[in-house]
Structure 1
Amino acid sequence: MSSPDGRAAAVRRLEETAVGSPALRRLAELVVRLLGASAARISLLGDAETVVSGAGLAPGLVGAQTPAGASLAALAATGDGPLVVGDAAQDPRTAALPLVVEGRVGACLGLPLAGFDGSAVGALVVTDRHARTWTDGDVALARQMADSVATELELSALAREFEAHRLRFELAIDAAEIGSFDWDLVSGRLIWDDRLVELFGYDRETFAETIEAFNARLHPDDLPRVSEALRTAIDVCGAYDAEYRIVLPSGENRWIRARGKAVADDRGTAIRLLGAAYDTTEQRDADARVARVLETMTAAFFSLDRDFRFSYVNAEAERLLAATREELIGGSIWELFPDAVDSDFELHYRGAMTDGRTRVFEAYYPAPLDAWYEVRAWPGPDGLSVYFHDITERRLAEERAQRSAARLALIADVTSILSRTMGPGEAEDAALQQVAQAVVPLLGDWVVASLVDEEGRIRDVGSWHVDPALREPAERYAALRLSSLDSSAPFPTALRTGRALEVDDLRPAVAHVLHGPVGELFELLAPRSAVVFPLRARGRTLGALSVYRGHDRPPMDGQEVSTAREVADRTALALDNSRLYEQHRRLSETLQRSMLTAPPEPDHAEIVVRYHPAIQAAEIGGDWYDAFLQPSGAAVLVIGDVVGHDTEAAAVMGQLRGLLRGIAYRDGVGPAAVLTELDRAIHGLQMHALATAAIARVEQTPEERAAGLTRLRWSNAGHPPPLLLHPDGSIDVLDRDRPELMLGVDPTAERTETVVTVRRGSTLLLYTDGLVEGRGLLLDEGIARLRDAVAELADRPLAELCDAVIERLRPDVLQDDVALVAIRLHPQDRPRPPEAGPRIVPPDVPAEP
């Protein structure tokens, strides 16, 4: 446990790099999106809470501080586990906090953020404006996000510390002033520039420009060595390199470093020696200071001579290289560290020595060091200076962050796949196949997806292998394995218990059942470990995901198992929703067929009905149509709309439709009387229903038949007005100046009816408001659009006209049910037209004369 002062310093160090971090902001945005929350904040806790990043926060909150006593983050960081609050206003831990009192937080989920020593330095807090229930999956996902945030905080702090080390070291490097010399070996004249004359304590009058003047300043102990170096360079026409002391007239000793090269004539005889020299006294002193710095600094440093032998090693390098300087100095790096041969180390060290350019790189050295290093190698006259830093923790933090991000991306991808592809039947198989492909290779090398159908039969529906060459054998294994497994195998056990089953060594668990072709395929695929995740939702096991790993990968760790379980849970829920939807759809279809019957087809009259639900899952709602014949043969058309939607409205609709049929079936009962009696029945039977309806009856006398005429008698209870299409293409809207009340409002309301005489060939269209009303579309505008569409489509057969009208007028996403019933009165002086279809009427209805 760190001290309070140490913890405060750690928090301050994290704040310096964390406030406004783009990476932290992206993590906050991701957790808000995955959890469907209002906001997320990442806070560090010192003397107060400092919000360093977040998503969905008020402007100016990032960087702001809040007293610890009023902080959700402090509450999350000091608890024994996650802070899970579904209703913040009712929870005694949070009810008095300002954010809750002000109504900005209705629910919260908080996870502590661990520092370098494991103590909590802050918290990730996810909030919602309204109360909500946080699921176990939400908590697990938030915990993964908190781990990613803590990793990112560690990573940024380590990177800052490393950069500071490197800057301190580079500031220790200085340059020296340089002077030049030119010794004419034929004449013996030694020419120095002003800087060199000054360095040796001469002036132009006292410097004799001879080698003797040079030797006169040399320290007696260094004269033989320097003379030998000069003689060797002249004899071989080669390089001259020496460092020596000089004694100035004042008696002061100075260190000089000189380098040069002999120049030969055409015969190969040296005639000149050119070079440069500079004062290294301060460098010598600095080297001593640098050596002291290098011995105490936390960064590792060593130098190599031009033969790649260690010439200096500081204390930190001894520690990181796990060897003493006595073992290292004088030894070849390639012999002492053989795994560096043919690695990035050799590539960059030799490259820097060859081209004289500094190399900066990252590389891994295997056991016994087993570490990642960031290396800076710069060449010099004496060899190579190497500064390096152990970045294993940083690399591990990066890898953890990458793996965490990849796991979160996988969950998001699977969610997208399921929302896009999940459906009944073959769509389930296709969705499971895509899920299997998404899981590989992040969670396993090989996945088999299985389903349990509604009859309890198990089948493998998908598989995927990371190796393309093994995908076909994996499919064949999936096709054979179920018949070979007994109840003790991992797969049946997991299905039976409903719990994930981890098997670190798969062979002993299944060896007794793997024989013949399935055993040969198992040997070829060679899995080492497996985890079977049952697909369970709402207490039912719907299938399983079997995730396998080969011998080159360890078994799943806890975070990987948690991620795979989240994938399995989301897959199971989508699968169960799909099956429930299919059950609902089949039930709705059955209800629709029972309530919305096919219309009759009397002589010379063609009746077409259409129904389109607003929501695909509920295939019937409150809209209805009806068409039937009274005993006399008169056709009655009904259109209605119950106030409300979905199953409740459908039930009321079924009752009203049955009542209306019973009332209207009698001969002599007109549309107004039918609506009056239906209104009284609604009141008397206490149905508590509100509905609109329009009824039309087709009537004709022998005289009207002879004249090619027909009467339409209609009444309307608050419903959109019918449309009447005449044979000449003109259209009337059968409306009244004063609309009558809808059904269910006043049982004593007076109902009236209107009669209109039309020519044969006319078409009457009754419809519900879903066809002419919608978001941003008023009723009158919708009726005008309908009228225009009917006029344009008037010459089409009736069925085509109805389909085209609905297709043209209804919005892309239907906001309300649409019901439609239309009758076309074909001329009676010729046979019934073929497009009207066969005559279909009840057996007791008389034929037309």
Structure 2
Amino acid sequence: MADPLPAPPAGPGAGWRQDAQHRATVPLACRLPDPAALAALADRLPAAVLALDPAGRLTWLNAAAARLLGGTAAGLTGRPLDDGVPGATGHVLAQACSEAAATGEPVTVAAGDGWYEVRALPGPEGLAVTVTDVTARRAVQEQADRAAARATLLVRVSGELSGALDGVSALGRLARLVVPVLTDGCVVTVVDREGRARDVGSWHADPERRELLARYTRVRLERMSPSSPVAQALRAGTPLTTCVADVLEDMTDEDAREMLRGLRAESVVVLPLPAESRTVGVLTLYLDAGRTLSEADLATARAVAVQAGRAVDRVGRQSRQIQLAEALQRSLLTDPPSFPGLEVAVRYLPAAEAARVGGDWYDAFSSPTGDPVVAIGDVVGHDTAAAATMGQLRGLLRGIAHARGAGPAEVLHGLDEAMADMHPETLATAAVARLEDGGRRLRWANAGHPPPVLLLPGGRVVALDHGDPIGDLALGVDATAERRESAVALVPGTTVLLHTDGLVERRGSTLDADTARLHDVLAGLAGRPLPQLCDELLARLVPGPPEDDVALLAVRVGAG
């Protein structure tokens, strides 16, 4: 059985009270601990604890605070925390205490060899302050932040380079991505197929040094020695790391030396941009004093270099394929022959995107009776397959027109039948016209194509649409469909324009608006020489890179 509680002393103010609910007695106050014991307890705390009077003088501090300030509690008590030496621990902590007391929020500062979180609670007696070492926590956070920055960098580089059609421009922007995540300054170098190296981009984290780095970039390749890190990396395809002092010692051009000194870099890292069979460039990373590339940083930089090398190689292959395909397509679009009394002009613009080739085509040739025949068409698709099919359809149309000596409607009907047998999956549009009676009459037929347009000598514009702006069925839909044919008289000076839809169709516009725009522009060009009319028509209707292929054929009656 537990010992009974002692009886409460009698009389008022005896220091005890009766708990009515539990019928128990408890002491009203406890004896305060010994100050020496409290001080010993505070000295065992890992955080620095100190007190300041309103004038900023230390009135008390524990052992951790004394160690942080580089003294003893007895020697520091009564002295100002701000020792007046800018950058010293006491000066830094005094400023942090003022900020923390004013804002009520913790303040993190660098002091000595570490990082510290300062909290300050103001009161009538001054400030009560705790200073906690957060160096390890900050290092972990910095590592996490750097890992996230590296991951974001790789995503941004991939996005920048993956769809780039102009590898040089994309790589020129690459320097801005890797700075400052991996380095303080960066220069990007690309090697062309002939082995010529050129710097295509630079960037520096310090705005005051960007222009200097750009000027150095413009001269460094032509003035560096064969033993320079960049030259070695380009030649051997292996990364190199060296100090800038060694690079300066190897340089002989004093102007280039002076610019490199002005960049104030301490070390340089050169990483090759690898492709399948060769080195296609290098990344040059300039690091200031105190900065080094960790293993994770270096691995990220190498990954960036690999992506850049692949982009250069891919764009180079695409460029060569595009040039070959475009040359093939232009070889199929032959120059028109000369016809008595007629002037003929043709133009072709490849699309700015995709493979830059497609199914647009034009043709001009003589029928068996000697009448000039002009045609224009568009195979559905925007790739090399469409271009190849275009060449075959163009040849078929020529053969049918020449073998049968038929009119435009019969030519289109014959082509439709041939496509059903030989190109059953192909869709195309086309317009065919024959100039008869020495160019005084135009006979024409249309298969789903934009209608031919007449520009009369006075500037009036007429669309040849059979009275039906929708037009007949496209080729490849129904080979049994009947094809309409119409004829119109032409007066001397009339211009006949055949074109593909890339000349007029624009995203966000309507067919009526597109047609009206063509007619307005064409009317304004009345009286211009035919070649100039064609060039001006393209310049005004297609002012930038075309979204679609553009082909046009123009015939002027009464010339020659």
| TM tier, smaller | 0.7 to 0.9
**Partner SS, residue 319 of structure 2:** helix
**2:275 paired with 1:545:** no
Which deviates more from structure 2 when the two are superposed, residues 729-738 or residues 527-536? 729-738
Determine the structure 2 residue equivalent to 1:6: none
Determine the structure 2 residue equivalent to 1:364: 110
Task: Tell me how far apart the structure 2 counterparts of residues 755 and 667 of structure 1 sit (CA, whole Å).
Answer: 19
> What percent of counterpart residues are identical?
40
Check the 8 A contact 2:356/2:382 in 1, yes or no.
no
The equivalent position to 1:716 in structure 2, one of 435, 446, 449, is: 446
Determine the structure 1 residue equivalent to 2:360: 623
Determine the structure 2 residue equivalent to 1:57: none
Task: Tell me how far apart the structure 2 counterparts of residues 353 and 714 of structure 1 sit (CA, whole Å).
Answer: 91
Give structure 2 stretches of 5+ with no counterpart.
Answer: 1-12, 16-28
CA 1:348–1:532: 2 relative to 1, 3 Å: closer
Check the 8 A contact 2:58/2:81 in 1, yes or no.
no
The equivalent position to 1:731 in structure 2, one of 446, 452, 462, is: 462
**Partner SS, residue 330 of structure 1:** helix
Q: How far does residue 618 in structure 1 lie from its aligned partner after superposition?
A: 3.2
Check the 8 A contact 1:372/1:395 in 2, yes or no.
no
User: C-alpha deviations, 1:369-410, integer Å up to 9, x for none?
Assistant: x443425386876x8754322232454355446655665676
Task: Tell me how far apart the structure 2 counterparts of residues 615 and 735 of structure 1 sit (CA, whole Å).
Answer: 34
Task: Tell me how far apart the structure 2 counterparts of residues 618 and 463 of structure 1 sit (CA, whole Å).
Answer: 30
Task: Tell me how far apart the structure 1 counterparts of residues 96 and 279 of structure 2 sit (CA, whole Å).
Answer: 63
Q: How far does residue 654 in structure 1 lie from its aligned partner after superposition?
A: 0.6
Check the 8 A contact 1:300/1:315 in 2, yes or no.
yes
Determine the structure 1 residue equivalent to 2:50: 302
Q: How far does residue 285 in structure 1 lie from its aligned partner after superposition?
A: 4.3
Determine the structure 2 residue equivalent to 1:55: none
CA 1:297–1:796: 2 relative to 1, 3 Å: same
The equivalent position to 1:332 in structure 2, one of 59, 76, 91, is: 76
The equivalent position to 1:638 in structure 2, one of 375, 381, 387, is: 375
Task: Tell me how far apart the structure 1 counterparts of residues 217 and 341 of structure 2 sit (CA, whole Å).
Answer: 65
For residue 545 of structure 1, what is the amino acid of its counterpart?
A: L
**2:118 paired with 1:391:** no
The equivalent position to 1:824 in structure 2, one of 542, 556, 560, is: 556
**Partner SS, residue 75 of structure 2:** coil
CA 1:736–1:539: 2 relative to 1, 3 Å: farther
1:709-788 matches, within 5 Å, as 710-727=440-457, 729=460, 731-735=462-466, 741-744=473-476, 751=483, 753-771=485-503, 782-783=514-515, 786-787=518-519
Determine the structure 2 residue equivalent to 1:227: none
Q: How far does residue 557 in structure 1 lie from its aligned partner after superposition?
A: 0.6
For residue 224 of structure 2, what is the amino acid of its counterpart?
A: R
Determine the structure 2 residue equivalent to 1:580: 317
Query: How many correspondences in the alignment?
Result: 522
Check the 8 A contact 1:765/1:820 in 2, yes or no.
yes
Determine the structure 1 residue equivalent to 2:336: 599
Determine the structure 1 residue equivalent to 2:273: 535
Determine the structure 2 residue equivalent to 1:556: 293
**Partner SS, residue 765 of structure 1:** strand
Determine the structure 2 residue equivalent to 1:503: 241
Give me the TM-score of the superposition, normalised by structure 2.
Answer: 0.72
Determine the structure 1 residue equivalent to 2:183: 444
The equivalent position to 2:166 in structure 1, one of 423, 429, 434, is: 423
For residue 48 of structure 2, what is the amino acid of its counterpart?
A: A
For residue 735 of structure 1, what is the amino acid of its counterpart?
A: H
Q: How far does residue 770 in structure 1 lie from its aligned partner after superposition?
A: 3.9
**Partner SS, residue 542 of structure 1:** strand
Check the 8 A contact 2:412/2:447 in 1, yes or no.
yes
**Partner SS, residue 656 of structure 1:** helix
CA 1:555–1:650: 2 relative to 1, 3 Å: same
**2:330 paired with 1:611:** no
Task: Tell me how far apart the structure 1 counterparts of residues 496 and 454 of structure 2 sit (CA, whole Å).
Answer: 5
**2:388 paired with 1:651:** yes
For residue 283 of structure 2, what is the amino acid of its counterpart?
A: L
Check the 8 A contact 1:740/1:751 in 2, yes or no.
yes
**Partner SS, residue 412 of structure 2:** helix
Task: Tell me how far apart the structure 2 counterparts of residues 792 and 817 of structure 1 sit (CA, whole Å).
Answer: 24
CA 1:394–1:779: 2 relative to 1, 3 Å: same
Check the 8 A contact 1:340/1:365 in 2, yes or no.
no
**Partner SS, residue 346 of structure 2:** strand
Check the 8 A contact 1:716/1:740 in 2, yes or no.
yes
Task: Tell me how far apart the structure 2 counterparts of residues 460 and 790 of structure 1 sit (CA, whole Å).
Answer: 46
Q: How far does residue 638 in structure 1 lie from its aligned partner after superposition?
A: 0.5
Which deviates more from structure 2 when the two are superposed, residues 713-722 or residues 519-528? 519-528
Check the 8 A contact 2:220/2:256 in 1, yes or no.
no
User: C-alpha deviations, 1:34-82, integer Å up to 9, x for none?
Assistant: xxxxxxxxxxxxxxxxxxxxxxxxxxxxxxxxxxxxxxxxxxxxxxxxx
What is the RMSD of the two structures over their aligned residues, measured on CA atoms? 5.1
Task: Tell me how far apart the structure 2 counterparts of residues 747 and 615 of structure 1 sit (CA, whole Å).
Answer: 34
**Partner SS, residue 74 of structure 2:** coil
The equivalent position to 2:118 in structure 1, one of 374, 387, 391, is: 374
**Partner SS, residue 415 of structure 2:** helix
Q: How far does residue 651 in structure 1 lie from its aligned partner after superposition?
A: 0.5
Q: How far does residue 586 in structure 1 lie from its aligned partner after superposition?
A: 1.8
**Partner SS, residue 223 of structure 2:** helix
User: C-alpha deviations, 1:678-732, integer Å up to 9, x for none?
Assistant: 345445656754433221111117xxxxxxx812122333434323344452625
Task: Tell me how far apart the structure 2 counterparts of residues 353 and 743 of structure 1 sit (CA, whole Å).
Answer: 83
1:657-696 matches, within 5 Å, as 657-665=394-402, 668-682=405-419, 685=422, 689-696=426-433
**Partner SS, residue 657 of structure 1:** helix
Q: How far does residue 656 in structure 1 lie from its aligned partner after superposition?
A: 1.5
CA 1:566–1:823: 2 relative to 1, 3 Å: same
Q: How far does residue 824 in structure 1 lie from its aligned partner after superposition?
A: 2.1
Check the 8 A contact 2:497/2:555 in 1, yes or no.
yes
For residue 542 of structure 1, what is the amino acid of its counterpart?
A: V
Which deviates more from structure 2 when the two are superposed, residues 604-613 or residues 293-302? 293-302
**Partner SS, residue 224 of structure 2:** helix
Q: How far does residue 542 in structure 1 lie from its aligned partner after superposition?
A: 1.2
Task: Tell me how far apart the structure 1 counterparts of residues 183 and 33 of structure 2 sit (CA, whole Å).
Answer: 57
Larger Rg, first or second structure (1 or 2): 1
CA 1:595–1:517: 2 relative to 1, 3 Å: same
Determine the structure 2 residue equivalent to 1:231: none
Check the 8 A contact 2:120/2:129 in 1, yes or no.
yes
Task: Tell me how far apart the structure 1 counterparts of residues 519 and 86 of structure 2 sit (CA, whole Å).
Answer: 84
Determine the structure 2 residue equivalent to 1:92: none
CA 1:742–1:309: 2 relative to 1, 3 Å: closer
